């Protein structure tokens, strides 16, 4: 029998002008051509990225975002081998419940527990929670009307002891009336990967995840490229 055939699903949201962004004082992304290079004969084609910050687009984050770089570790200190081919479980919620913009919808522990992937979870897995909200990446509603976790949902996730937790929505807490779970989350030393796109394309809950951040020392969060490797259903080699 041959090796299993794998589908590759890109979880990385596009970085371009007009994309979602956290509110001020976070700068907005802009790309422009490099000014003329006086010490080179002829044209030079290069782009300048303005307004790019550590939480631009899909990013990987450590507890240093909460505790500070002097009391935790930076993204660059994570051995890259730990970020490649991670065992991962996808908890895909009912996409129809989150399809339209409107008042923010809570995700509670019962919803997570009813996902098929919840029965497969093992300590040290990466966990990705999907709602289909990534489709709104370029929409004005993406941040302000994002789904959010309830306190019991986050405590349920923390109790699974994952290595990494990610989602396809950008704002995990309900800021006007905070669920108050972030201290528990960061104290559990769990990496964050957010926000992702295309989780609704995943067909099975048990996959492999790779998330490779840019190599930028001294920061608690870094934009990254994240992909899922999913064994193709019904393929048995030849």
> Domain coordinates of the chain in residue numbers?
6-15+53-231
Tens-digit pLDDT profile for residues 102-132 = 899 999 999 999 999 999 999 999 999 999 9
What global pTM score does this model have?
A: 0.94
Band the pLDDT of 201: cuts 50, 70, 90.
Answer: very high
Q: What's the chain's length in residues? A: 238
Band the pLDDT of 48: cuts 50, 70, 90.
Answer: very high
What share of the chain has pLDDT > 90, as a percent? 93
DSSP designation for 20: -
* pLDDT mean across residues, the chain: 95
The Cα 129–Cα 92 span in angstroms is 6
Question: Which residues are CB-contacts of 165 (< 8 A; sequence separation ≥ 6)?
Answer: 126, 127, 128, 129, 157, 185, 190, 191, 192, 193
Pick the CATH number of 6-15+53-231 from 3.30.420.40, 3.40.50.300, 3.50.30.50, 3.50.50.60: 3.50.30.50
Residue 235 has a pLDDT of 44
């Amino acid at each position: 029998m041959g090796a299993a055939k794998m589908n590759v699903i890109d979880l990385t949201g596009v970085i371009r002008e007009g994309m979602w962004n956290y509110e001020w004082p976070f700068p907005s992304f802009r790309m422009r051509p490099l000014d003329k290079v006086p010490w080179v004969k002829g044209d030079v084609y290069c782009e300048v990225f303005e307004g790019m910050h550590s939480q631009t687009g899909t990013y990987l984050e450590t507890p240093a975002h909460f505790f500070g770089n002097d009391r935790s570790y930076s993204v660059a200190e994570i051995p890259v081998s730990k970020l490649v081919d991670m065992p991962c479980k996808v908890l895909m919620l009912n996409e129809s419940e989150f399809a339209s913009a409107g008042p923010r919808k809570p995700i509670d522990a019962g919803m997570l527990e009813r996902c098929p992937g919840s029965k497969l979870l093992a300590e040290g897995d990466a966990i990705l929670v999907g709602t289909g909200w990534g489709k709104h990446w370029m929409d004005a509603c993406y941040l302000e009307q994002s789904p959010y976790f309830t306190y019991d949902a986050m405590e349920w996730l923390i109790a699974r002891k994952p290595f990494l937790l990610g989602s396809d929505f950008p704002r995990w807490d309900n800021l006007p009336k905070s669920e108050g779970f972030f201290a528990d989350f960061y104290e559990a030393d769990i990496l964050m990967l957010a926000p992702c796109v295309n989780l609704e394309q995943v067909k099975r809950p048990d996959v492999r995840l790779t998330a490779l951040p840019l190599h930028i020392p001294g920061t608690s969060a870094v934009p990254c490229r994240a992909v899922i490797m999913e064994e193709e259903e019904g393929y048995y080699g030849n």
